[in-house]
Structure 1
Amino acid sequence: MGLCFSKGGSDRSDSDQRVEFVGGNVQPVTSKEDWDQKLSEAKRDGKIVVANFSATWCGPCRILAPFYCELSVKHSSLMFLLVDVDELAEFSSSWDIKATPTLFFLKDGQQIDKLVGANKPALQKKINAILDSLK
């Protein structure tokens, strides 16, 4: 299970890294207001939110990103969000992020599950369990 703990060494010069993180139906969160708006939208539409707190410099995050994008296309009944822990450091701190990637599963704005690390089978299992609970 891949984890990144370092908060330093962010290399922002490679802007095309962003493309591999945001694809499919993954929506980037750009501010606290944007987060609140997306959560309100999910609540209104009855969608579970999968929020991926990650960083472009994090190797495991990069490995997970294409799979996360695939899941977002495959499971359009869920809302997939991406929070860059460097761009929204203060907001990420409020979620007590200790390692990246950390994924939160939210229903009506409340945490119902959490996954720390780039564990694709565990992520798939949690999503399947959530989808089964909605049936």
Structure 2
Amino acid sequence: MGNCLNKPQPKDNDSDHHVDFSSGNVKLITTQEAWDEKLEQAKREGKIVIANFSATWCGPCKMIAPYYSELSEKYTSLMFLLVDVDELADCSTSWDIKATPTFFFLKDGTEVDKLVGANKPELQNKLASIDDSLPKHHHQ
């Protein structure tokens, strides 16, 4: 399959644009302002951010999106973001995205880990170990 950096067709059909990409606790990011705002919020709340750089036309991205949403409901102490690489081309360039999906794990806006590709077990492992490393304070 290779990676998904070549667009198969022009993006003129927006109807399926937000398919499952931002359900659960996943926040869809389409502007630089929203990105900055979320990173600020995460810093204030001491949350680790998982940023999924995806494209709506990318098969593997679509495949892992529902799973990513599922994980966002399980790991509520983490902040799950989904960045549309087409909407936020500059942001993607600055993060040096070579393939989609790419998951970045950020603490205070700094990359602590990274995962390239739609690898469910690896994503789950990384999330579990990050979650385990967090101080546990449950507010009900």
Give the TM interval when normalised to the shorter protein.
over 0.9
Secondary structure (helix, strand or coil) at the match of 2:83 reads: strand
Give distance in 1, aligned partners of 2:67 and 2:124.
Answer: 10
Corresponding residue number in structure 1 for 2:99: 99
Corresponding residue number in structure 2 for 1:5: 5
Which one-letter code corresponds to 1:39 in the other structure?
L
CA RMSD after TM alignment = 1.7
How much does 1:8 deviate?
A: 5.7
Structure with more relative contact order (C-alpha pairs < 8 Å, separation 6 or more) = 1
Q: Which runs of 5+ in 2 are unaligned?
A: 136-140
8 Å contact from structure 2 (residues 7, 57) kept in 1: no
8 Å contact from structure 2 (residues 54, 61) kept in 1: yes
Q: State the Cα deviation string for residues 19-49 of structure 1 (Å, max 9, x = none).
A: 3111000001121111111001011111100
User: What does 1:2-41 align with in structure 2 at a 5 Å threshold?
Assistant: 3-7=3-7, 9-41=9-41
Secondary structure (helix, strand or coil) at the match of 1:83 reads: strand
Secondary structure (helix, strand or coil) at the match of 1:131 reads: helix
- Scaled by the length of structure 2, what TM-score is found? 0.89
Q: Which has the larger radius of gyration?
A: 2
Identity across aligned pairs (percent)? 65
Q: Which runs of 5+ in 1 are unaligned?
A: none
Give distance in 2, aligned partners of 1:21 and 1:75.
Answer: 17
User: What does 1:60-75 align with in structure 2 at a 5 Å threshold?
Assistant: 60-75=60-75
Answer 1 or 2: which has greater helix percent.
1
